[in-house]
Amino acid sequence: MEVTLLIEAMDTSFRLMEDARSQAVDLLNTAVKLTSETRDIEEKNIQAIFTGAQEAKSGFQNLVVTFLMLFAFWVLLSGKYDLFHLALGVICSLLIAYLTHDLLFANVRVGDARVIAYRFFAYIPWLLYQIITANIYVASVVLRPKQHVDPQILRFKTKLESDISWVTLANSITLTPGTITMDIRDGEFIVHALDKKVAADLNAGEMEDRIAHVFMEADHIYVQDALDVAPIFGELKRGL
């Protein structure tokens, strides 16, 4: 009797193991399939990034974007929405856009302009938060009876590549109290820092990383954008 039970139990356990194995194989198969699909999507995205850059380099698109920005600025200034003034605005914006579209978008790098604009606006709140905390810290340093000021000059090579990202980093550093960008020479930043903590914060390089992410530079181009792993995890969860 006990032997039969034992055999039955073993039988069931084997069947369960078999089921589990087949399920696991299925899962692995779907995972492989999904990975190849994701890779296709990734390749397509990378392609899109590059073609986007090529398109951005074409003068006509620059002209149109410059025109739209200038016309928006005109409407903001003018505040008169009758046909005559809007027509004047169109003519003036076209004229200026034609004359200066190569100035506003000089040195366009690889990257999707819309994504960069979106990320730039997402970067501003973070910068504001940094400015507020740095303000409080500098105020505490100044108000402390014992002075802990230890001014120093930092030099560091940046991993950023384009002039616009250098300028963004330099101005972000200057806007944050306690640090001032003195100069940029061949990609080397020369920064004056008020004390050790401020200098250490700057050396940690979070600001640089974020700006690299905003302008899709260094190693931030593909990793976070093209390869979206969420579908794989979703499929795995459903399978289990």
Partner 1 sequence: MIQKSDDIIIKTLARILVPFIQIYALYVIMHGHYSPGGGFQGGVILAASIILLMITHGLKDTQKRMSEKTVAILSSSGVLIYAGIGVVCLILAGNYLDYSKLAKLLHVAPAHARSLGILGIEIGVGLAVMAVMFSVFFDISRGEVSQEDEDE
Q: Shortest gap between Cβ of 204 and partner 1 (angstroms)?
A: 23
Which H helix or E strand runs over 178? none
User: What value does the CA radius of gyration of the chain take, rounded to a whole number of Å?
Assistant: 28
**How far apart, in Å, are the Cα atoms of 122 and each of 9, 10, 45, 210, 213?**
60, 59, 21, 10, 11
CB 208 → partner 1: shortest distance, Å?
A: 16
Does 166 engage in binding with partner 1 (CB under 8 A)? yes
Indicate whether 10 belongs to the interface with partner 1 (CB under 8 A): no
Residues from 84 through 143 that contact partner 1 (CB under 8 A): 85, 88, 92-93, 95-97, 99-100, 103-104, 106
* Binder among 80, 114, 144, 148 for partner 1 (CB under 8 A): 80
DSSP string of 63-96, one letter each residue: HHHHHHHHHHHHHHHH---SHHHHHHHHHHHHHH
Q: Looking at 49, 70, 138, 194, which residue binds partner 1 (CB under 8 A)?
A: 70
**Per CB under 8 A, does 163 bind partner 1?**
yes
Looking at the Cβ atoms of 41 and 75, the one nearer to partner 1 is 75
Tokens linked to 169:
């980093």
Least separation, in Å, of the C-beta of 77 and partner 1? 5
Shortest approach of partner 1 to residue 152 CB, angstroms? 21
Q: Does 57 bind partner 1 (CB under 8 A)?
A: no
Q: Tell me if residue 185 falls in helix, strand or coil.
A: strand
Instruction: Give me the residue label for tokens 């994504």.
Output: 115
